[in-house]
Every structure is written in structure tokens, then in C-alpha cells.
Amino acid sequence: MSKNLSIVNKDLKEERDKINFNVEEFTNWFYGGAEKVKEKKYIENYFLSDKDLNLELDTSYLSYKDKYEEAVRRSIVVYKKLYKLHNEMGGTHEDFVKIMENLRFTMGAINPEGNPFVLHFSMFALTIMNMTNDEQKAEWLPRIFNCNILGTYAQTELGHGTYIQRLETTATYDPKTKEFTLNSPTLTSYKWWPGNLGHTVDHAIVMAQLYSQGKCHGIQPFIVQLRDSETHKPLPGIDIGDIGNKVGFQTVNNGFLGFKNVKVPYKNMLMKNSKLLEDGTFIKPKNAKLNYGTMVIIRVHMIIDAACRIAKATTIALRYSLVRRQSPINPNEIEPKIIEHITQQNKIFPGIAKAVVFKCMADYLTKLHLSITQEGNTGNLARMPELHALSCCLKAVCTNEDAKTVEVCRLSCGGHGFLRSAGLDDVYRNSTAAQTYEGENTVMLLQAARFLIKSFNEARNGGSLTEGVKYLFDFIGRNGKREIFDNSINGILRAIQAAAAGRTYIAWKHIEDDKRHNSIEVATNLAGVHLTKAAELHGYVCLLQVGIEEIEKIIRNVSPALGLVFKNILELFAVDLILNKIGDVIQHVDISNEDIEKLEKQMETLFKFFRTSAIGVVDGFDFSDPIIDSTLGSYDGNVYENLINAARKSPLNQEDVNRTFHLYIKPFMKSNL
Ligand SMILES: CCCCCCCC/C=C\CCCCCCCCCCCCCC(=O)SCCNC(=O)CCNC(=O)[C@H](O)C(C)(C)COP(=O)(O)OP(=O)(O)OC[C@H]1O[C@@H](n2cnc3c(N)ncnc32)[C@H](O)[C@@H]1OP(=O)(O)O
Ligand SMILES: Cc1cc2nc3c(=O)[nH]c(=O)nc-3n(C[C@H](O)[C@H](O)[C@H](O)COP(=O)(O)OP(=O)(O)OC[C@H]3O[C@@H](n4cnc5c(N)ncnc54)[C@H](O)[C@@H]3O)c2cc1C
């Protein structure tokens, strides 16, 4: 399934013949074991081989409306099959999640501009699973699971996305009727952005300010029916629609929603955390931020999405760079594969390393999330802020890197990279959307910085710190002296830690100085640029630290040949990182010009070693051709044939003379102006 049967381009074959490790072993690591790879391939093939999907149709040429309708049609084909497969597998919840997780990437090939049901199968279902009491679970989960109702997560409004405390939608409780009345009191209170809301779903989790007994109790989640179950017409008092064309996500059907005196029964307020008694008495949750839980889960999931987008983009860029020839390096020699230009290696190899390190981080964060959630279920919420800060920080750093890397990959494919058929445009659009949704990245970094500043104060006062920020103690312990650089992987980690701690100190000092003339909030705002830089550096510390720990474990468990590749990848990530952050490092680390030159030389040596392994690693990401969906990145490397074949499918090429010639061009040419 994953390899097509055409003859492989000879340059690419020659590269593959030189691979000196077992690609399958790498694939098994990337997907969590041979069994999981088998499962992934089976699920992929199960869906993608279905002729009813009509994947031959290039939806990018369709109109906005036709794109949406085709996306809905294809999704229904997929979801019907999903339920069939789920039954065949045994029908457990774990089976369902297994299929969903594999389907995430397959879905990208089926609906490249987004899935009109994604919110139902993620945020809507997860919110009901995690924020309801037992009765509510019993009422809603079967209907959600069977898709008798379809839902989304409606939080963001026209006026507020970031500062959710100031959302304006109101839900006013009347104990006499035991109902809430939902209203959108202003234009800016209209819900705006929720995925699948426009014309697809009939229910939503609505985040609204709860008013009871004359008081506002902050934002709470409500499950609200929006459309009639038979006719799909908006229910009375509901003003709903699609928000229109966007930079990407064209078929996600993001919508707007206004309420005018919409009645919602008492039982529809999600009551796992906050509670409202029938008489209208409000009972606060143990931690008000528990209502932000679904966002945390999705931020954790977004790290693996970023890793996979980078993996896909680098696969395309590298395969293309191994078959494209241009510009002789020695004037009298034949034109080399463009990968021989060292600048091309510099564009692509660090990206491949990032995909691997981000995957390590995604695994780590998923385990951490599970363990902190289990603690939470026993009533221990102590580590919630740590998870919140870490997930915000890494969501921002990984999606920023993702968007940057995908764009560099596009540039590395020259002109052909600008073609839609190269397959990089949808990846880029999804990457850049991820920089904004689930928390705008600057805002996410500022949340992480809050945690850093708190930890810094804790460290100064001799308190205790969580594992991930213990490096702040080292900085304080050095008492103003700089960290001495040593050119080992741990030396690089210590240098990045020193830079992160140093920048945290600068931000902290900025706040302390400004506090003398301003409120703490104003002082914090004035230190904002330093705070975001500190949080970003902290994100890189986490990535490198987890990368080192995880890759050391991996090396102990894989063959020596693959172990060397992992070592090479880790060093590539580390050296690329320190060279990119050298300005911050110089400020806080005793590093000489010779050290920097050595690092630059080391990078060249690392490239040389990675030159032969790179194709094995990207093949090991194991994207099948339908998933890679790229004229430049297919397994066979027949890029020129692919390009001309794709061009011939342009709707304009289906006739040799377009009617505009007779309608406009010819009369214009004959008019003598
Ligand atoms: C059919 C059934 C199927 C079921 C199967 C399910 C299986 C699923 C399998 C896989 C699913 C994965 C699928 C993944 C695909 C996902 C695709 C998604 C597509 C797109 C979705 C996009 C969705 C959205 O965008 S939704 C909207 C998101 N909105 C935001 O992110 C808003 C950002 N703003 C905020 O989060 C907050 O406003 C804030 C955190 C920035 C600030 O909040 P605040 O004002 O209330 O706080 P303060 O600034 O006053 O105080 C900060 C204080 O609070 C602490 N804090 C904040 N948040 C938390 C938290 N979450 N936990 C703990 N603590 C928190 C913080 O630490 C600060 O503490 P201090 O001590 O410093 O005060
Ligand atoms: C593709 C996509 C899908 C989405 N899907 C959903 C969905 O399903 N459900 C849903 O509810 N929402 C959804 N959203 C909304 C999304 O979560 C918000 O757009 C996002 O949280 C950012 O909020 P905002 O639009 O209010 O930006 P703003 O907060 O207005 O940001 C504008 C600028 O102001 C800056 N800024 C704002 N506050 C601060 C601050 N405190 N400090 C410093 N700078 C600040 C930001 O950094 C940014 O540069 C989606 C958005 C997109 C793009």
C-alpha cells in the first residue's frame, strides 16, 4: 500500500541502496511498535482504497460550496466505514480511539482542506466525556457516539477569543422554570470561529457567563441544541451561519452563532466541575480553570500534529532534492542533485531532526497528561498549573517551528514548491492555523512565562521547583557568573538552560524595576517581549532535555546502526538550536568565537553523516503516496512525469481554446484599441 509500483527514479534508488540502517526499525519506533505500524497500514488502506471516496477528484479546483459538500460526502463514507471497522475490531472505546488516531492523518488525504466533523469527534466528545456528571454522561454519550447528534465547541466570540473571562454570551437561570435563557446581548458576543458550526452540526457546547440569583458566576459550559433534528432548520432564536472564506480550513465550516432568548433545560449545564443547585445556588469548583480542560487536551495533541506536518514537508523536500539537479558545484562537472548544495542540507536536515524530537516530546507530554489527569481524578490538582504552562509553551514553540519549517521546505523546492500539486500548501495552511487556534501563540508563551516568573521567585526564596525548571537554581547559584560552555550535548543543554534562565531573570528584573512606578500588571506588560523570549527558550530547553532523555533510551533499545542515526539526529537538533539562539547564549554563557566556529564545523560534519541516512529516515516516517499527495514527494521520485500529469488535469486544459478568447481576447486584439 505505502509504495507505488512504478519504476523508482534511478537517483532515488541509488540513495536508497546506500542506506545503512533498517528503515523498518525506525518506522516501528515512530509509530510505537511493529504491531502499531501494521494497524496503521491496515487502517489507512481500509479507508483509502474505498472507491466511493472518489479520491481521483482534485477538490482544490472546486468552488467553495462544492468543496464543502464533497468534504461532507467523503466524511460520511469514512465515518460509516469507521463504525463498521470498530465493530469488526471488537467495539471497545480503546479500539475507537485507535482508529481515530490513525484516521487523523488519513483524513488529511481525504479532505485536504479540513474535516467538517472534526470538532464532533474531538472537542465536543472530549468535553462531554470530561466535564459531565454521571447522569449527563449516560444521557449524552451514547447519542454522541452513535452520531444521533453532531456537535462542536463554541467558545470564541467576535469580540473575544483570547480573554475568555470576558466572553459576553449570557445564560441566565430561572429556578421557577428550571431553565437557562441564552442571549447574545451585543454583536461582539456572537460566537465566531467554532469549527463545523456553520451548516454541519445541530448541537454545541456553548461557553457562556452564568447568571443566577442576580450574580455572574463566570463562564460555564452548556450543551445546546441549535438545529431541528429532522429539518436541520435553525431553532427559534438561533442566528447561525458560515463565516466565509479563510486562509485555509476551507471545508471545516467555521461558523457564527447568536442567541435570542433561547431556552435550555437545567440538566444541560455541564456539572462535573462547577455545580448549580436547582434553587439557583452556585457551587464553585475546586479550581475554576477545570473548565479549560478540553483546551489542555487538544494542546497536548497538537505536538504530534506539528511533528507529523514537519515529517511530511521534509519528506517532500528531501525526495525532491535527491532527484532535482541544478547548478554544477565544480564548473566542469555534471549538475549535482540539489541536496549537494550545503545550504539545501541546512534547509532540510534540521527539520527532519525536529520531527523526531517533537515526536519524543509528544510521547512524553501524553504520558505526563495521563498521569496528571489521573491525579486530578483523585482530587489532587496540584500539578495542573505545571501541565497548563508546559502544554501552552510547547503548543506555541512547536507550531511556530512547524510553520517556519514547512515554509522553508516549500522554498527548498524552488518554483515547483509553489504548485499546489507539490502538496506543501495545505500543510502550511494547517500549520499556520495551528499557531492561532487553541490559544494564540504569543498569549500561550505569556502563560508559560507566568509560570517561569513564579518559579524564579520560588527559586530565589529557596522554595522547591518542579523538575522541568530546576535549571533556574543553577542560574541563581552562579550568582551572576556566566555558565562555562563545553561542546557536548549536555553542554549545549546547559547553555540553552542558562540562556532561558538569564532571559527569565531579565524579564523578572524588568518587572521588579517597573513595579516601582506601575502596577504589577502594567510592569508585566512592559516586560512582555522578554517574557515571550524566556518562555520560548524554556520550550527549547524542554525539547532538548526530553530529546536527550528519550533518545538515550531509544539508543539502548535499537540496533547499533539505528542508534548512530538517532545520535546524529539529536546532535543535529542541538547544534542547530544553539546556533540559531547564539545571541541569547552569548548573553549568558562564556562561549568563545572558537567555540562557535567549532559548532559550525560540527554542523557540517553532522550533515555529512546524515547525508546518507536522511532518505532512510524520511522513508521511515512511512507516509504512503495518497497521504503525501505530492508530485515532488512521491515514493518513486518521478517528479517531472508527476508534474506534467498533474498540469494536464487542470480544468483549463480540458479544451484547447478557452471561450474567453472569442468573448474578450480576440475582440480586444482586433480592436486596434
Ligand atoms: C464520537 C466520540 C469520539 C470520541 C473519541 C475521542 C478520541 C479523540 C482522539 C483523538 C483526538 C485528538 C484530535 C485532535 C485534533 C484537533 C483538531 C482541532 C481543530 C481546531 C480546534 C480549534 C479549537 C479552538 O480554538 S477552541 C478555543 C480555544 N481558545 C483558547 O485557547 C483561548 C485562549 N485563552 C485561554 O486559554 C485563557 O484565556 C488563558 C489561559 C490565556 C487565560 O485565562 P484566564 O484569564 O482565566 O486566566 P488568568 O490570566 O487570569 O490567570 C492565569 C492563571 O490561571 C492558570 N490557568 C489558566 N489555565 C489553566 C489551566 N487550563 N489549568 C490550570 N491552570 C490554568 C494559570 O496557570 C495562571 O495561574 P497563576 O497562578 O499564574 O495566576
Ligand atoms: C482555524 C481556526 C479554527 C478555530 N476553531 C475554533 C473552534 O472550534 N472553537 C472556538 O471556540 N474557537 C475557535 N477558533 C478561535 C481561536 O481559538 C481564537 O482565534 C484564538 O484563541 C485567538 O483569539 P483571538 O482571535 O481573540 O485573537 P486576539 O486575542 O484578538 O489576538 C490578536 C492579537 O492580540 C494579541 N493579544 C491578545 N491578548 C494578548 C495578551 N494578553 N497579551 C499579549 N498579546 C495579546 C495576540 O497575540 C494577537 O497578536 C479558531 C480559530 C482559527 C483561526
Query: The domain that contains 91 carries what CATH number?
Result: 1.20.140.10
Measured between alpha carbons, how far is residue 225 from residues 236, 238, 295, 464, 659 in Å?
11, 10, 22, 48, 48
Query: Is 350 among the domain residues?
Result: yes
162 within ligand 2 shell (Cβ under 6 A) = yes
Contacting residues for 96 by C-beta, under 8 A, at least 6 apart: 86, 145
- For residue 2, pLDDT over 70 is answered with no
156 within ligand 2 shell (Cβ under 6 A) = yes
3-state secondary structure of 269: strand
> What's the domain count of the chain?
2
Contacting residues for 86 by C-beta, under 8 A, at least 6 apart: 95, 96, 99
- For residue 240, pLDDT over 80 is answered with yes
608 Cα–ligand 2 center, Å: 42
Mean predicted confidence (pLDDT) in 639-651: 97
Helices 93-110, 64-89: crossing angle, 10 deg rounding? 150
* Same domain? 257 vs 319: no
274 within ligand 2 shell (Cβ under 6 A) = no
Report whether 158 contacts 296 (CB < 8 A).
no
* Same domain? 341 vs 417: yes
* Same domain? 99 vs 227: no
- 315-354 per-position pLDDT tens digit: 999 999 999 999 999 999 999 999 999 999 999 999 999 9
What span, in angstroms and rounded, lies between the C-alpha atoms of 199 and 65? 11
Residue 83, pLDDT score: 95
What span, in angstroms and rounded, lies between the C-alpha atoms of 86 and 466? 41
Residue nearest to atom 13 of ligand 1 (CA): 122
Q: Is 127 annotated as a binding residue?
A: no
Closest-lying ligand 2 atom to the alpha carbon of residue 248:
1
Q: Which of 81-95, 236-250, 269-283, 609-623 has the lowest mean pLDDT?
A: 81-95
130 within ligand 1 shell (Cβ under 6 A) = no
- For residue 85, pLDDT over 90 is answered with yes
Confidence band of 560 (pLDDT split at 50, 70, 90): very high
436 within ligand 2 shell (Cβ under 6 A) = yes
Which member of 438, 483, 536, 571 is catalytic?
438
Query: Is 587 among the domain residues?
Result: no
* Same domain? 265 vs 352: no
Query: Is 172 among the domain residues?
Result: yes
- 385-441 per-position pLDDT tens digit: 999 999 999 999 999 999 999 999 999 999 999 999 999 999 999 999 999 999 999
Residue 5, pLDDT score: 58
Closest-lying ligand 1 atom to the alpha carbon of residue 141:
2
Q: What is the ipTM for the molecules in this complex?
A: 0.98
200 within ligand 2 shell (Cβ under 6 A) = no
100 within ligand 1 shell (Cβ under 6 A) = yes
Phi/psi of residue 327, nearest 5 degrees: 60, 100
Residue nearest to atom 52 of ligand 2 (CA): 437
* Same domain? 233 vs 304: no
Amino acid symbol at 207: M
Confidence band of 1 (pLDDT split at 50, 70, 90): very low
636 Cα–ligand 1 center, Å: 42
Cell, residue 207 = 461557553
418 Cα–ligand 1 center, Å: 35
* Same domain? 244 vs 165: yes
549 has catalytic annotation: no
Amino acid symbol at 64: Y
Report whether 230 contacts 136 (CB < 8 A).
no
Closest-lying ligand 2 atom to the alpha carbon of residue 155:
11
- For residue 256, pLDDT over 60 is answered with yes
* Same domain? 265 vs 155: yes
Q: Is 156 annotated as a binding residue?
A: yes
Amino acid symbol at 275: K
- 508-527 per-position pLDDT tens digit: 999 999 999 999 999 999 99
Q: Please, what is the average pLDDT of the chain? A: 97
Residue 160 domain boundaries: 150-285
Closest to 157 measured CA to CA, from 122, 126, 184, 182: 184
Residue nearest to atom 43 of ligand 2 (CA): 443
Query: Is 622 among the domain residues?
Result: no
* Same domain? 104 vs 182: no
Query: Is 64 among the domain residues?
Result: yes
Mean predicted confidence (pLDDT) in 473-483: 95
Report whether 296 contacts 391 (CB < 8 A).
yes
Mean predicted confidence (pLDDT) in 619-645: 97
- For residue 456, pLDDT over 80 is answered with yes
What is the C-alpha R_g of the chain? 27
290 Cα–ligand 1 center, Å: 9
Query: Is 667 among the domain residues?
Result: no
- 10-40 per-position pLDDT tens digit: 999 999 999 999 999 999 999 999 999 999 9
* Same domain? 389 vs 317: yes
391 Cα–ligand 1 center, Å: 9
Residue 4, pLDDT score: 54
Angle at 290 between CA 451 and CA 263, to 5 degrees: 140
Closest-lying ligand 2 atom to the alpha carbon of residue 246:
1
Of 409, 436, 463, the residue at which a domain comes to its end is: 436
* Same domain? 158 vs 96: no
Report whether 469 contacts 455 (CB < 8 A).
yes
Give the DSSP letter of residue 665. I
* Same domain? 334 vs 274: no
Of 285, 312, 337, the residue at which a domain comes to its end is: 285
Mean predicted confidence (pLDDT) in 273-281: 97
Query: H/E element holding 300?
Result: helix 293-323
Report whether 401 contacts 434 (CB < 8 A).
no
Of 411, 436, 461, the residue at which a domain comes to its end is: 436
Full DSSP string of 490-552 = HHHHHHHHHHHHHHHHHHHHHHHHHHTTS-HHHHHHHTHHHHHHHHHHHHHHHHHHHHHHHHH
193 within ligand 2 shell (Cβ under 6 A) = yes
381 within ligand 1 shell (Cβ under 6 A) = no
Q: Which mutation among 121, 193, 249 tests ligand 2's pocket best, with the greatest number of atoms within 8 A of CB?
A: 193
What span, in angstroms and rounded, lies between the C-alpha atoms of 327 and 298? 45
What span, in angstroms and rounded, lies between the C-alpha atoms of 561 and 22? 8
Mean predicted confidence (pLDDT) in 640-665: 98
For the chain, what's the residue count? 673
* 607: number of Cβ within 10 Å: 21
Phi/psi of residue 228, nearest 5 degrees: -65, 140
* Ligand lying nearest the CA atom of residue 143: 1
163 Cα–ligand 2 center, Å: 9
Q: Which mutation among 123, 242, 436, 444 tests ligand 2's pocket best, with the greatest number of atoms within 8 A of CB?
A: 436
**Strand partners of residue 182:** 171, 262
Query: Is 634 among the domain residues?
Result: no
* 150: number of Cβ within 10 Å: 20
Q: What is the CATH number of the domain that holds 169?
A: 2.40.110.10
Query: Is 474 among the domain residues?
Result: no
* Same domain? 75 vs 164: no
